[in-house]
Structures are given as C-alpha cells and as structure tokens.
C-alpha cells in the first residue's frame, strides 16, 4: 500500500514558539470557557457545577498539550505522532514565522523587538481565571457556608488543576527565557535585537531531520514566508523546491500582511515575486485560511496590497490599517482574518497566477464550513467563496480539513452534494500539535477521519496530496 500524507502539521516544540503557544492556548481557553458563556446567565448551582467540570477538563487537556510540546526536539514530536501513524504517513510539516505577529512594531522596516506576548498572556490569564472564579467561587465553602461537600471538593479540584496549569505555563516561559539568554545575538535571516528568533531554530531542527536516515524520507517541510522578514524572498528561492530542504511555501496573512504584498504578488501588472517563482517551479503554497488561529497583536499595521474592508476589496499602498478590536477583544482574530485573508483577495492571486498550486487551509474553519453546507445558495459565506475557487477549472486551488474535531460537521460535509463536486481538491491534514488544544486523543481523531471518509480517505490522504506535490515530491 502506498503511504498516506498528512499535508498540514507542525513539529515545533519547546525550543521555539514557547510563549506564542501559551498565547494561543489561553486564547482558546478563553473562547471555550468564557466566550461560550456570554449571553447565558447562571441557572443555578447545577449549571455552575457543570461549567466548572468543563473548565477542569479544558485545563487538563491544555496541560497535556504543553506536555507534548515540551519534548526535546522536532524528532520527538514526530515520534509522538508516529505512535498513531505507524510509519504509514509522510509529513509535510509547516514552519511558523510569528516574529512580527508578536512584536510591538509589526511593520516592514521596523524593529521587531520587545515582544508583547508576555504582557498579553499575563493580561489574558488574569482575565480568564477572574471570570471563571467570579461565577464558580460560590461552590466553595470559603465563600459560601451553604455549599455542599461535593461542591466544595469540586472547587478544590479546580484550584489544583489551575495550580498545575500555572506550573506548566511557568516551565514553558522559563524555557523561552533560557532560549533568549543562550541564543541572543544575530539569529535567522535578519537581525532582531533583544529577541530570540525561533524561526532559525525551526529550520535547524528540520535540517537535522532531513540529514537523519531515519527521518529524511518521512518529512518534507514547507518554509514560512513573511514578506516583512528581510532576505526571505532570496532565501526561499535558494532553499525551496524539489531536492531542497523545503518543498513548499507556507503563508499566514492574518499575522499582518496581504496576500497581494508585492514581495509575494510581484509588481502591479507584471509577473514576479514568490508566486511567480512557485508557479514556474510547481512549488505548492499552503495558506492559512480560516476565521481563527493566530493574528497580529498590533492594533494597526502598514499594508501594501489588497484588504477586504466594508464588504469590498481595497488597495492599500503602504497605508496603515487600524482594527476596531484590540487583540484582547472577542472578535479580534476574526476581524484580522477577514481584513487580511478573505478568499476574495486570494481570488485575485489565482487570477494573476492561474497555475499556482494553492491550498487554502482549514476550509475557512468548522463553523464556516457548516454554514456553507447548510446554505450553498449564499455565495458570500467564507467557505462558499473557497468552494467557488475549488470548482473553477481555470485554477489549481485545494483546501485541507486540518484541525477538525467537530466530526458532526465532517459527516455533513461528506454526505453533502458539494463533497462529490470538490472531492479531488480536498486534502487531509491533522494540524498536530495545535490539534491537541481541542482534543487530546490523536489516535481517536485519525480513526474518526478514516471512518467518516471511508474509501475516500485514500483520495484525500493519498491521491490528492500526490497531485498537490507532484512537481516537488
């Protein structure tokens, strides 16, 4: 049997992206624990007990994610995944470049130093536990003498889980601080004073894997390209392609740039940039394309390229885009994703580069996909915009179903008429390690995928990724 492909995964670990992972964890915890409660008043003790139990389970799952993440290197993360994959999957790990996403100055030609992650993390943590305890502390006999023994015990269990989580978080932060101390100075492709640049460490660890006979034929990485990083275009053109360390390009536009940034898109009216290079060499591009995930912490960024604003595309010529919502707000990531990463912007990319092999990852996200399945007649919906590109024979656009744990939505998708239309453009991806934020049983997640897609799993994890990678694998 030919091997399967996991087309969307990450092998990052404690040696880089430590604080960034903590930030993402807390944002997801806040969404799962607090935002889902908004608009709902406590109905009484039973409701508070139920919510606190859910909180404890979330804290336990997040601690497990940190445990996996704190393994010694990318090889160890691969080995963790391989407990499930059993050497039957080839991985195309996607690197991250979050330097500008988490920097106080997120603009090109600015100094990407003075990371805000700790400040935002501490603020989010204080808010998170404050909201939880404001609602649940009446279960404790320290605050309510009428609380039952069972309720008081549940409160103590929560306090213990909170303490264990904070210890795990502190360990991860300590690791980051040690990395900064040990690796200060010039890092990566350009110089970022006073900040450890985990981007180079990712590359170093992946290079080690490609030089190791045990791993070299099992991992085929994609290079993260942020157009604000000095020298990244030259580095990509030297190191991406068949036989190189990287076989593809990864883009994450909500971090603060447009898909039509000139470094990517080339000059107006002319071919050029990263897309022309990828199109000419059959190099696949995977672009994060959902309403969630990471996004720039900055309240405003300088943009050179198209944005989606007030329902239409708008060209920005090195102009400042100011977001309505600060990063601490509930809809902050969504606003940045819509503004900087809307599928209509990507339509402009493939109109100029119709032979670009492009994966709009995550299919817009689970809720967006469900909305499109339920309302195929509303073209304005995010995932319906992606479907338009998938079904247009002029383009080579794919999508992946990575980081999905909402299996009811996947079942609806597979049973829908649209799946038969686009089946040849759907790719399997796990989004490991970020998947563990949402569920801690990776083996069960893969089993569910195989069961839901049945014979078509061979298509989305075998036939389609081979076509996606045919010029570089």
DSSP, residue by residue, 336-386: HHHHHH-HHHHHHHHHH-TT-EEEEEEEE-HHHHHHHHH-TT-TTSHHHHH
Rounded CA separation 254/457 (Å): 30
Bridge partners for 249 per DSSP: 223, 285
Residue in 219, 13, 220, 11 with CA at minimum distance from that of residue 95: 11
Residue in 248, 239, 296 with CA at minimum distance from that of residue 102: 296
- At residue 187, the pLDDT reads 39
| Alpha-carbon separation of residue 181 from 102, 114, 177, 184, 342 (angstroms) | 19, 14, 6, 6, 39
- For 150-193, the pLDDT digits (tens) are 999 999 999 999 999 888 888 777 766 666 565 544 434 443 33
Considering the four listed CATH numbers 3.20.20.140, 3.40.1190.20, 3.40.50.300, 3.40.50.12780, the one that applies to the domain covering 4-14+71-113+194-468 is 3.20.20.140
**How large a percentage of the chain has pLDDT more than 90?**
62
Mean per-residue pLDDT, 18-40: 67
Sign of the torsion angle spanned by Cα atoms 102, 60, 409, 430? positive
Can you list the positions of beta strands (E) in 161-299? 222-224, 248-251, 285-290
| Alpha-carbon separation of residue 439 from 85, 87, 383, 401 (angstroms) | 17, 22, 24, 16
Rounded CA separation 102/236 (Å): 22
User: Does an H or E element contain 306, and which?
Assistant: strand 300-309
- Count CA atoms within 13 Å of residue 24 on its CB side: 22
Domain residue ranges in the chain: 4-14+71-113+194-468
For the record, the structure tokens of 397 come out as 């656009």
Instruction: Please give the residue that has the higher pLDDT: either 370 or 440.
Output: 370
Say which residues have a Cβ less than 8 Å from residue 363's Cβ, sequence separation at least 6.
Answer: 289, 290, 369, 383, 386, 399, 400, 401
Residue in 357, 353, 317, 358 with CA at minimum distance from that of residue 341: 358
- At residue 106, the pLDDT reads 58
- At residue 227, the pLDDT reads 95
- At residue 171, the pLDDT reads 79
pLDDT of 306 above 90: yes
Say which residues have a Cβ less than 8 Å from residue 310's Cβ, sequence separation at least 6.
Answer: none
- At residue 190, the pLDDT reads 41
- At residue 297, the pLDDT reads 86
- Pairing verdict, β 300-309 and 312-322: antiparallel
What is the pTM assigned to this prediction? 0.89
Alpha helices in 225-295 (DSSP H): 232-239, 262-265, 273-281
Q: How far apart are the first and last CA of the chain?
A: 18
Bridge partners for 288 per DSSP: 361
Residue in 293, 289, 279, 271 with CA at minimum distance from that of residue 237: 279
> Residue 337 burial (CB < 10 Å; 0-12/13-18/19+)?
buried
- At residue 327, the pLDDT reads 78
pLDDT of 223 above 70: yes
- 437, 22 contact by CB (below 8 A): no
- For 60-106, the pLDDT digits (tens) are 888 888 888 888 899 999 999 999 999 999 999 999 988 888 765 55
- At residue 40, the pLDDT reads 53
For the record, the structure tokens of 102 come out as 């988490």
The gap from C-alpha 370 to its chain's centroid, in whole angstroms, comes to 19
């Amino acid at each position: 049997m030919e091997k399967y492909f996991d087309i969307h995964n990450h092998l990052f670990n404690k040696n880089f992206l430590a604080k960034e992972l903590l930030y993402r964890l807390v944002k997801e915890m806040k969404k799962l624990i607090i935002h889902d409660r908004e608009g709902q008043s406590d109905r009484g003790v039973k409701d508070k007990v139920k919510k606190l139990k859910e909180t404890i389970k979330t804290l336990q799952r997040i601690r497990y994610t940190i445990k996996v993440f704190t393994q010694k290197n990318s090889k160890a993360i691969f080995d963790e995944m391989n407990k499930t994959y059993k050497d039957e999957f080839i991985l195309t790990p996607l690197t991250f470049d979050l330097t500008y996403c988490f920097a106080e100055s997120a603009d090109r030609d600015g100094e990407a130093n003075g990371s805000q992650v700790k400040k935002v993390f501490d603020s989010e943590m204080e808010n998170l536990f404050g909201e939880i305890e404001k609602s649940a502390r009446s279960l404790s006999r320290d605050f309510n003498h009428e609380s039952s023994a069972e309720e008081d015990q549940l409160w103590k269990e929560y306090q213990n889980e909170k303490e264990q989580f904070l210890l795990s978080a502190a360990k991860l932060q300590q690791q980051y601080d040690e990395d900064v101390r040990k690796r200060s100075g010039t890092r990566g492709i350009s110089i970022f004073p006073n900040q450890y640049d985990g981007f180079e460490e990712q590359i170093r660890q992946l290079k080690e894997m490609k030089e190791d006979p045990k791993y070299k034929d099992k991992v085929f990485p994609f290079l993260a390209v942020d157009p604000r990083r000095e020298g990244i275009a030259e580095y990509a053109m030297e190191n991406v392609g068949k036989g190189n360390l990287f076989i593809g390009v990864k883009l994450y536009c909500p971090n603060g740039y447009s898909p039509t940034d000139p470094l990517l898109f080339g000059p107006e009216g002319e071919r050029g940039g990263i897309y022309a290079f990828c199109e000419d060499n059959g190099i696949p591009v995977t672009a994060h394309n959902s309403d969630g995930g990471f996004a720039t912490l900055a309240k405003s960024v300088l943009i050179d390229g198209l944005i989606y604003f007030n329902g239409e595309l708008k060209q920005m010529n090195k102009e400042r885009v100011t977001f309505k919502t600060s990063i601490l707000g509930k809809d902050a990531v969504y606003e940045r994703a819509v503004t900087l990463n809307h599928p209509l912007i990507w339509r402009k990319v493939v109109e100029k580069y119709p032979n670009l092999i492009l994966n709009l990852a995550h299919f817009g996200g689970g809720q967006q996909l469900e909305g499109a399945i339920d309302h195929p007649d509303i073209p304005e919906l995010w995932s319906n915009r992606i479907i338009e590109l998938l079904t247009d024979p002029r383009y080579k656009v794919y999508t992946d179903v990575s980081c999905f744990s909402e299996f009811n939505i996947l079942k609806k998708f597979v049973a829908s008429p649209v799946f038969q239309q686009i089946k040849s453009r759907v790719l399997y991806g796990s989004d490991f390690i970020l998947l563990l934020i949402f569920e801690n049983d990776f083996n069960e997640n893969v089993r569910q995928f195989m069961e839901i897609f049945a014979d078509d799993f061979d298509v989305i994890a075998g036939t389609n990724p081979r076509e996606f990678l045919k010029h570089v694998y």
